[in-house]
Amino acid sequence: MFVLVVKNGTRSQSDSRSFISFSAILCVATWRKGAESAEGGSECVRPPAPPPHHQSASESCPRRLSASSIPQIRCWFTACRNTTRLEGPSLFQCAWCSVNWILCLKCCDNVYVLNYPISVYHLRIVSTNIPSSGSAQPITVMKVVSLQLPSGPSMERLPLPFSPTELLWRYPLPWAPPPPSPLGDTKAQLPVGLPPEPRLWTREDVAVFLKWCEREFDLPNFDMDLFQMNGKALCLLTKTDLGERCPGAGDVLHNVLQMLVRDAALLGRVPSSPVTPTARAAPYPPSPHSHPPTPTWAVDGFHHFHSAAAAAAQPNSVTLSPAPSVDSSGSPQRGETLSYASAYAPPVPVQAASSGSNHSDSDDEAQFAPPPRSPKETPLTSPAPQTHSASQHTHYRAQHREFFPNDMPESNTNGRLLWDFLQQLLNDPTQRYTNYIAWKNRDTGVFKIVDPAGLAKLWGIQKNHLSMNYDKMSRALRYYYRVNILRKVQGERHCYQFLRNPTELKNIKNISLLRQQMSPTRVTPQSVVKTEMKEERCEDEHVEEDMPTDLSMAASEPWRKRARSDNSQPSLTHDKHRISALIGESMMMKRESEYNPEHYALNLKSEKCEQ
DNA sequence: CACCCGGAAGCTCG
DNA sequence: GCGAGCTTCCGGGT
């Protein structure tokens, strides 16, 4: 047991790196009232659920509830590799009572992911690697003692080795005003001309930023070929993604980006949130452990712990409807504490939501569906590989050619449309939804609904139709057949194939909007596709007139109304079916291996013209 | 029995 | 009010 007292901490040369890296460390401590708990072993145990009263801002720091005891502090970290850079004890301060603590983070060899966002202590790091009084003995049991330093909110009164502006805050409490930006200094050092909002960066800005990071944090040189993306795409990358692109520096990069995004969001500079929710009522009860609103379905501790900062840094996350408390600017709306994740956490509903789904239908399921995950098991629990092989580079280069690349263009429907919803689940950077839906062949857009009932449940939550089931959802999917968004993979249950990549889908929408602006008459998707076909010099008049090409299968469907009401044109329905069948057959004739998504639509039109 | 298909009508939301 | 995009229900086929 070591009791360390800080007298004068000095900042090492490498501290700037550790300092930033530490921003991703989610440090939580437990406390126990009795002194008997102070002699715990060296292994970490999962912290108990925080008492409800600790959710309240009005409560005093719990340490004061046990002033006579020496709390045993244990830290639970997400898998931040850079924790190992904290070679020695570090000075922390309780954000609630400003009492200082010395924690040796190096001792926390057990890594857990938090399953709730806030615990007893909300620690902020003050300095790292402070001198440990010359002791060379290993610290096996992490003990701390409050320093005999003046307590109180005023940091200036504390004999800190750094200026107060260098205090790194953890993710902000939902009820507390945001602390001063920990990146204040860093932002001031950002290259001139670089917008403070990373998601507004161009490719060139990203390159400038990376070069700056190399210098600023003494990072290994990045392979710029792996970062041919704009800022939005860069922010979309997870820590693991970044770690694989730049071994040994991904977490630094990720943390810096997150902080920049968070700060931009807090300052309201974010023009639009990629996780913009739909504004609906919130029928779901908040979690007993209400916490900073999380506009994603993330349930692992890391994401659970994140507030709007992390949400903003994960633009590809799926937004649940009703809306999480993220406004259009991407910043959290304080006061709201929705916790969708705890109630509808995917790893939990896998059992809860899937009522009788059939999982024994496919022999090849195991080829693409990973084993079910524990709620605590996330990619973040496993540190990203330190080594980086050439094959990984190849992998990422190959991804740029995929049908649905990771940095695919962002849709502006935010998961409100079924196809978009599915794609967001499929392309989730952390693969959290593979228990529900997974790619079978990403290149060809073939995917399998692993858990139909569970997926339908999620879709129902998304659309606030809680009675949704697979039968209904599959009906919606079938409407996509006739507009060539989807097709059924014959002979394989729950297997579908995207026939258009997101870019195409987005473009169709944009074309529609464009045509609406240019044409005095309202342009429907039918006419859009018709125009596309005209542009392809397709001469089939029947197709132009009668082919249903949009999703308006309801009363607004002119072709069907005509077919039903006008008996003098019985061929319309026939033509419709013939054309649909034609399309389907054409699709099926295409072997998946021959599928070229970029040219498929064009080829299909040509084939139809030929026939 | 589950899955799949597609018609029909209705609903919600922008 | 209108249209898009489903949702709900259903009968029928495999």
Give the closest nucleotide to A420 (alpha carbon vs C1').
C5
Pairing between β-strand A446-449 and β-strand A495-498 as defined by DSSP bridges: antiparallel
Mean pLDDT of A32-57: 31
pLDDT at A60 over 70: no
Alpha helices by DSSP H, listed for A31-164, are none
Q: What's the pTM?
A: 0.35
Mean pLDDT over all residues of chain A? Answer: 48
In the prediction, which pLDDT does A239 show?
73
Residue nearest to nucleotide B1 (CA to C1'): A358
Considering any atom of strand B, list protein residues whose CB lies within 7 Å: A 278-280, 356-358, 361, 452, 464, 470-471, 474-475, 478, 481, 488, 492-495, 553-555, 560, 563-564, 573, 576-577, 580, 584
Question: Nearest nucleotide, C1' to the C-alpha of A554?
Answer: B9
Q: Which nucleotide is nearest to A512 (CA to C1')?
A: C4
Give the CA A563 to C1' B10 distance in Å.
20
Query: Helix, strand, or coil here: A448?
Result: strand
Higher per-residue confidence, A242 vs A24: A242
pLDDT in tens, A181-224: 334 344 446 777 777 778 778 888 888 888 887 776 667 788 88
The Å distance, CA of A475 to C1' of B6, is 9
Res. A234 pLDDT band, cuts 50 70 90:
confident
Is the bond into A548 cis (omega within 30 degrees of 0)? no
Q: Any idea which of A17-26, A82-91, A600-609 has the lowest mean pLDDT?
A: A17-26
- How many angstroms is C1' of C7 away from CA of A32? 52
Give, as ranges, the nucleotides of chain B with any atom within 7 Å of a protein CB.
2-11, 13-14
Please name the residues in contact with A339: beta carbons below 8 A apart, sequence gap of 6 or more: A286, A287, A289, A290, A291, A293, A294
Which protein residues, judged by their CB atom, are less than 7 Å from any atom of strand C?
A 416-419, 459-460, 463, 465, 467-468, 471-473, 475-476, 479, 509, 522, 524-526, 550-556
Q: What dihedral angle (degrees, nearest 10) is formed by the CA atoms of A101, A106, A112, A116?
A: 20
Residue lying closest to nucleotide B11, CA to C1': A554
Report the sign of the C-alpha dihedral through residues A274, A276, A278, A283, in that order: positive
**How many whole angstroms separate alpha carbon A183 and alpha carbon A302?**
21
How sure is the predictor about A477, in pLDDT bands with cuts at 50, 70 and 90? very high
- Cα A295 to Cα A331: distance, rounded to the nearest angstrom: 10
Q: Which residue is nearest to nucleotide B12 (CA to C1')?
A: A463
Average pLDDT score over residue span A152-167 = 30
The predicted pLDDT at position A92 comes to 52
**Per-residue pLDDT at A423 exceeds 80:** yes
Whether residue A243 has pLDDT greater than 80: no
Q: What Å value separates CA A554 and C1' B1?
A: 30
Under 8 Å between Cβ of A311 and A326 = yes
What nucleotide is nearest A488 when CA is compared to C1'? B4
Segments in A400-501 forming alpha helices (H): 418-426, 452-463, 470-479
